[in-house]
Structure 1
Amino acid sequence: MRVPVVQHTTRRQRARRRRALWTGGELLVTVGLVLLLLVVHQLWWTNREARRGAERKVEALEREWGDGATGDGATGKGSGDDGDSGTSVSAATPGPDPGSGTSTRQQAASTRQSSPSWSQAYAILTIPRLGLRVPVAEGVSKQDVLNKGYVGHYRGTGQPGQAGNFALAGHRNTHGEPFRYVNRLRAKDLVEVETRSATYTYAVDKTLPQTSARDSGVVRPIPRSIVKPGYGYSEPGYYITLTTCTPEYTSRYRLVVWGKLVSMRPR
């Protein structure tokens, strides 16, 4: 009976294969752990930190307004270029008097205009149905505004209570995800915007479930989709627009919710 002879080269080849398999397995485990940590960071940690920061900013704004202090984010000259058409409401603006015959729109139109500071929070957005209360900052920069858990104001669109379109953007997932459930809003749901001088209440009117990320028509003074012209308005008014990404966990399309101004209450 012949006994097979195992050569040293064969043993070395097998050892190398085992080491390669072991190293490959370790690399796969490491990559898996790194990916898991990234997911945890994006879906939990960024939400936690952004929400805490947004809550602190809301509290700071309330304290500032209560003290009557003048903050750059509320009424100061913006630090952006001179083409900024953003405005905020004068503290001297009178509220609508139900018995005077003066409409809410006329009162809102009489507000004095000044530019909010770039990327600074200057208003508070409250949506009772969603249990949402977050700061509104000038601009829609991810790093300076949206990733902080704030809602961003589209530069060049109207300001709260003004004729035209007060257009806002917010994350739907991660970084506080303030607009996670805006798809749950229905007609007549209320959306409130507080500034240093007044609280403006809008009522949800229409929803555009999905449109292109480049559909600029939805934030125009008379908002109307240029991708789906059947959605939007044809007459001037006092509008608010909420935009966010859709479907969830993607940024391919935009979900849009529109509302109309229904009341104005001075602080």
Structure 2
Amino acid sequence: MTTTRGAAPTHRADRPAAIGRRGRLLGGAIGVLGEVLLTLGALLVLFLGWQLWWTDVVADRDQEQIISQLEDEWGDVDAQRIAEPRTDEPPVPATPQDTMVFGTMYVPGFDRVRVPVAEGVSLEKVLNVKGVGHYPGTALPGQVGNFAVAGHRNTYGRPLEQIDRLQEGDPIVIETADAFYVYEVTESLIVDPEDVEVIAETPGQPGVPASERMMTLTACHPMFSARERYIVHAKFAHWTDRADGIPPALENVEV
């Protein structure tokens, strides 16, 4: 009896020590988890900084260099001369090779007025590095049909960040080696990503042959989301010969 009664306090005395060890282990695990979460948080902040700021810095630099190279290739345009708008048959540039930069786009209503236009809509090869991309198979500038382009609203230079500012009648100007093509906004709409008929040769009417010269801008919507697409349609107004100066739409724009 004495032995049995004396053993019980011994077991009870061991319990606080065991609980203490478990508490220290739990506290250590929580500390490690906290450090991991802090590290992950810091990495997330760095990633967001890279995604939202640094990609813009790099894209702006690269796109300015692309435009400079185009100007060297094309020769200077006389920005002091306002060319007479023409409504005769416009010249149509040759079909560009994939990823080739073949023009620039001016949107006077945007903070960033001028960006390069390249062939294709690959993220890695075009949209993330060169500016806006031309949907292969759609019309070329000045051609009957739908000249359709895509671009980012945020990150990588944000060429279409302010697409929702465009109003009916606003000009969008495409410059190539030989000409300026002036389109005027007709409508804006928000669609699902699957609604690809917006870039059909007759927008919204797939299979209907084109009878007009149109242009379409497409960008993700809302900002920082790819849930929908913001669409702007524009109709060809006129063109000017690059050798004659700049179109009236660019009179108050730095060219």
The TM tier, using the shorter chain, reads 0.7 to 0.9
* Alpha-carbon distance in 1 for matches of 2:93, 2:223: 37
1:15 aligns with 2:30: no
Q: Please say if residues 160 and 200 of structure 1, whose CA atoms lie closer than 8 Å, have aligned partners that are also in contact.
A: yes
For residues 184 and 225 of structure 1, do their structure 2 counterparts lie closer, same or farther at Cα, with a shift above 3 Å needed? farther
Q: Which residue pairs with 1:81 in the alignment?
A: none
Look up the match of 2:213: 238
- C-alpha displacement at 1:41, in angstroms? 1.0
For the Cα contact (< 8 Å) 2:92–2:143, is it kept in 1? no
Q: 1:130 to 1:97 in 2, by over 3 A?
A: closer
Looking at structure 2, the residues matched to 225 and 44 of structure 1 have their Cα atoms a distance apart, in angstroms, of 39
Secondary structure (helix, strand or coil) at the match of 1:128 reads: coil
The change in CA–CA distance for 1:136 and 1:112 in structure 2 (over 3 A counts) is closer
**Larger of the two Rg values belongs to structure:** 2
| Runs of at least 4 residues off by over 6 Å | none
Cross-structure match for 1:266: 241
Distance of aligned partners of 1:52 and 1:211 in 2 relative to their CA distance in 1, 3 Å threshold: same
CA gap 1:154/1:238 in 2 versus in 1, 3 angstroms: same
Asked whether the equivalents of residues 140 and 152 of structure 1 are also in contact (C-alpha less than 8 Å), the reply is: yes
Q: Cα deviation per residue 1:49-99 (whole Å; 9 max; x = unaligned)?
A: 1111111111111111018xxxxxxxxxxxxxxxxxxxxxxxxxxxx977x
Identical aligned residues as a percent: 37
1:117 maps to which residue? 97
- Relative to 1, partners in 2 of residues 1:225 and 1:186: Cα closer, same or farther, differing over 3 Å? farther
Q: Is the 8 A contact 2:144 2:213 kept in 1?
A: yes
Q: Verify the 8 A CA contact 1:149 1:177 in the aligned structure 2.
A: no
**Cα pair 1:149 1:178 within 8 Å, conserved:** no
Give the Å deviation of 1:212.
1.3
TM-score by length of 1: 0.77
Give 1:18 deviation, angstroms.
1.7
Return the match for 1:254 from 205, 208, 229: 229
State the alpha-carbon separation in 1 of the partners of residues 34 and 48 from structure 2: 21
Name the residue aligned to 2:68. Answer: 59
Instruction: Write the distance in 2 (CA, Å) between the matches of 1:39 and 1:12.
Output: 40
Map Cα deviations across residues 151-171 of structure 1 (whole Å, 9 max, x no partner): 000000011111111100001
Contact kept in structure 1, 2:202 and 2:209, CA below 8 Å: yes
1:29-63 deviation digits (Å, cap 9, x = unpaired): 01111111111111111111111111111111111
Whichever residue aligns with residue 240 of structure 1, its letter is: M
Q: Look up the equivalent residue of 1:27 and give its one-letter code.
A: V
Q: Provide TM-score, normalisation by structure 2.
A: 0.81
* RMSD after superposition: 2.4
2:146/2:214 contact within 8 Å kept: yes
How far apart are 1:19 and its partner, in Å? 0.9
Q: For 1:145, what is the secondary structure of its paired residue? A: helix
1:21–1:166 CA distance, 2 compared to 1 (3 A) = same
Letter in 2 for 1:159: L
- The residue that corresponds to 2:162 in the other structure is 181
Instruction: State how far apart, in whole Å, the 2-side matches of 1:40 and 1:218 are.
Output: 34
The corresponding residue for 2:203 is: 223
Matching residue's letter, 1:194: E
Q: CA deviation at 1:9?
A: 3.0
8 A contact 2:145–2:210 mirrored in 1: no
Q: Give the aligned partner of residue 30 of structure 1.
A: 39
Displacement after TM superposition at 1:149 (Å): 4.7
Whole-Å separation in 1 of the counterparts to 2:201 and 2:174: 18
Structure showing the higher helix proportion among its residues: 2
Distance in 1 (alpha carbons) for counterparts of 2:92 and 2:166: 31
Q: C-alpha separation between the residues in 2 aligned to 1:215 and 1:118?
A: 24
Counterpart for residue 107 of structure 1: 89
User: Which sections of structure 2, spanning at least 5 residues, go unmatched?
Assistant: 1-8, 77-82, 243-255
Q: Does 1:196 pair with 2:180?
A: no
Contact 1:46/1:174, CA 8 A, preserved across alignment: yes
2:54 corresponds in structure 1 to: 45
SS in structure 2 of the partner of residue 61 of structure 1: helix
Deviation at 1:236, TM superposition (A): 1.9
Report the Cα offset of residue 191 of structure 1.
Answer: 0.6
